[in-house]
Structure 1
């Protein structure tokens, strides 16, 4: 298979920065750690050697590890990952202990201690819990501990989930203000077609959505123990790079080569600026209560010029929310282009749609002489301009 270098850009651009990263989040998937027989000890040992090497060079590492459900299959006498939530939760409750025990023993050989951190999406959707997660992870790193993070599958509901640990890893990278995200998979890179197909080429560098136009991206593989596939990895990379965190995607056996700056995997270059904890929470994890649709003029003002949203720019309101809640802001096509903290309730806003602040002030009083969403309480989201083909197989 040949290598694709977009627009003749050096594919190793930026990779040397991995060794200089102060904080690194490493995510490894179930298929790289486990099999139908349970946890693969050699895979655990290989990963802990890589993490220990990073620690010796002065980097702090947070490990986001899948594998709890897969590790619980054999003890429960199951051959494949269960489809129903209750059995998934049971497998996770059994497997998480097995997985952590393997990590603890392997890291101990390198003189490192670990801590288990289980998170749910619901917890990070609230700003207080988001800040608590930052403080806890930050303190563990200060104490020289390797936090091992996983979604709390034993209690997470189907309706409120991260969806996959790739996305969780990107969010954790935002929480701890990481300098690098390393996604380890059972595939060595992102390809412009199915990796097994003759003629598929490795994409060495992704600078933005334009480099993925027309790229076929598949979902979970045939092993039956993972959940995300390449789709969630690309989505995680977009979350991280949009927040100023470069991302490298490669296979678990290539982890050490990646750390050494070798030309392996796919490098996702930074496409946005690093966000404050408040902006990261609002843009990525805040639980939105409703949606405000705005016209093209308001889109230009809010997104392009960073202005506050005024009532005159609104074309529609949906959902139930109170003043101070987080809401989505969408354009006329329905694409969500921003998130913000709204200054009015859902019962007040419909009567204000399309009206000027001067008109509202004269009719309803001076308390209506305020913006709908202030620029300081608004996070603009990147608009999806590229087209990707996604497979369901």
Structure 2
């Protein structure tokens, strides 16, 4: 969708389901505890919207809540301290939400996820079914990363990424990322800043505007939020980045007021399975291809053949996710590979008829079939 074709009222009328994510910088007070008044303000708005929209709630703040309870000051960096704080803080956090939603006769259900839960196709589908079942019962799913067991290999990194994945999983129309700033700021040559209201492309000009710092409590920055918005856009999901400290931010937005920065979605929505391949699975390696192969993949929708492969990086097995890169280092696609890294080292640059002779067995012609390949740039 382009800015020149955007009609706010038509867009708002198309929204049936949304994901709202609230960051630690919004939920936490100056002493690193949980700001119950802010939780109540957000829940009040969601309760008003409940009769018109389906929604799920992604929350940060478990570590911040746990730090307050355990009397920890400052930023903690060790994994064991973060996991201990999360173990204590998550239950405290859910108590706040349960009490806040109960005022409006609403029930909540807790779901804790790791990246590994969504990388496994079976567990991914189980998570989808659980969320949908909760929604069918009128229960608000409150979702957080399972920080008590997460390690680097199975972490999302931040809840912006998790929220973008969930938006695709439940086929939402809108992703709302509530933070402690009003949106993307654009500073002119005189140093005067203004909020960018609409974005329809993810080029370098957007990323140069971003403040890359993180707060004491948050793990992400504006860069992570824009990257998550980009991921959502490819699934046909719009993203609003706005201030969760603004008292009626959600009600104002759904009433048609211009607030925050709204990232418009791509017109063609990719399937949930392709989104899972392109943005949820962790890549185990990289395949560098020549210009001809890159053009065939990007512009002609072809499968990747061995003849176009220049170089292999990493160790991966058949069925793993790999990144596909141009010769100048630009990663432009991801896909599920039909050969292991050791097999590809033998057949890279070779034509299909030669593969059987080299490997001594029949196999598929495609290194990555187009049905298992996603263009991400």
TM range (shorter): over 0.9
How far apart are 1:141 and its partner, in Å?
1.0
- Structure 2 counterpart of 1:297, from 292, 295, 302: 292
How far apart are 1:325 and its partner, in Å?
2.2
Equivalence for 2:200: 207
Listed one character per residue, the Cα deviations across residues 32-75 of structure 1 (whole Å, up to 9, x for unaligned) are 11111511111111111111112122x11100011111111121
Q: How does the TM-score come out when normalised to structure 1?
A: 0.89
How far apart are 1:99 and its partner, in Å?
0.8
Q: Relative to structure 1, is the Cα distance of residues 16 and 95 closer, same or farther in structure 2, using a 3 angstrom cutoff?
A: farther
Q: Relative to structure 1, is the Cα distance of residues 180 and 8 closer, same or farther in structure 2, using a 3 angstrom cutoff?
A: closer
Q: Is the 8 A contact 2:3 2:200 kept in 1?
A: no
Quote the RMSD (CA, aligned, Å): 2.2
Q: Does 1:377 align with 2:368?
A: no
Q: How does 1:229-240 map to 2 (within 5 A)?
A: 229-240=221-232
CA distance in 2, matches of 1:255, 1:16: 17
CA distance in 1, matches of 2:227, 2:335: 22
Q: Does 1:216 align with 2:217?
A: no
Q: Relative to structure 1, is the Cα distance of residues 83 and 360 closer, same or farther in structure 2, using a 3 angstrom cutoff?
A: closer
3-state SS of paired residue (1:358):
helix
Q: Does 1:174 align with 2:179?
A: no
How far apart are 1:122 and its partner, in Å?
1.6
Q: Does 1:306 align with 2:306?
A: no
Listed one character per residue, the Cα deviations across residues 323-350 of structure 1 (whole Å, up to 9, x for unaligned) are 2222221111222221112222222111
Q: Does 1:336 align with 2:324?
A: no
3-state SS of paired residue (2:332):
strand
- Structure 1 counterpart of 2:70, from 65, 76, 88: 76
Deviates more, 1:92-101 or 1:267-276: 267-276
- Structure 2 counterpart of 1:120, from 102, 114, 118: 114
Q: Is the 8 A contact 1:283 1:339 kept in 2?
A: yes
- Structure 1 counterpart of 2:260, from 253, 265, 268: 265
Equivalence for 2:50: 55
Equivalence for 1:4: none
Listed one character per residue, the Cα deviations across residues 176-228 of structure 1 (whole Å, up to 9, x for unaligned) are 1111111111111110249xx95012111110024835633113455x22221
Q: How does 1:36-47 map to 2 (within 5 A)?
A: 36=31, 38-47=33-42
Equivalence for 1:358: 353
Q: Relative to structure 1, is the Cα distance of residues 345 and 114 closer, same or farther in structure 2, using a 3 angstrom cutoff?
A: same
- Structure 1 counterpart of 2:240, from 236, 248, 251: 248
CA distance in 2, matches of 1:248, 1:15: 15
Q: How does the TM-score come out when normalised to structure 2?
A: 0.92
Q: Is the 8 A contact 1:18 1:180 kept in 2?
A: no
Q: Is the 8 A contact 2:284 2:314 kept in 1?
A: yes
3-state SS of paired residue (1:315):
strand
Q: Is the 8 A contact 1:85 1:158 kept in 2?
A: no
Equivalence for 2:158: 164
CA distance in 2, matches of 1:110, 1:38: 24
Q: Is the 8 A contact 2:26 2:180 kept in 1?
A: yes
Q: Is the 8 A contact 2:117 2:123 kept in 1?
A: yes
Equivalence for 1:275: 270
Q: Does 1:23 align with 2:40?
A: no
Equivalence for 1:3: none
Gaps of 5+ in 1: 1-6, 383-393
Q: Does 1:34 align with 2:24?
A: no
Equivalence for 1:388: none
Q: Is the 8 A contact 1:314 1:353 kept in 2?
A: yes
CA distance in 2, matches of 1:255, 1:8: 22
Q: Relative to structure 1, is the Cα distance of residues 56 and 167 closer, same or farther in structure 2, using a 3 angstrom cutoff?
A: same
Q: Does 1:111 align with 2:87?
A: no
Equivalence for 2:280: 285
Equivalence for 2:87: 93
How far apart are 1:159 and its partner, in Å?
3.6
3-state SS of paired residue (1:168):
helix
Q: Does 1:228 align with 2:223?
A: no
Q: Is the 8 A contact 1:205 1:269 kept in 2?
A: yes
Q: Is the 8 A contact 2:3 2:198 kept in 1?
A: no
Q: Give the number of equivalent residue pairs.
A: 371
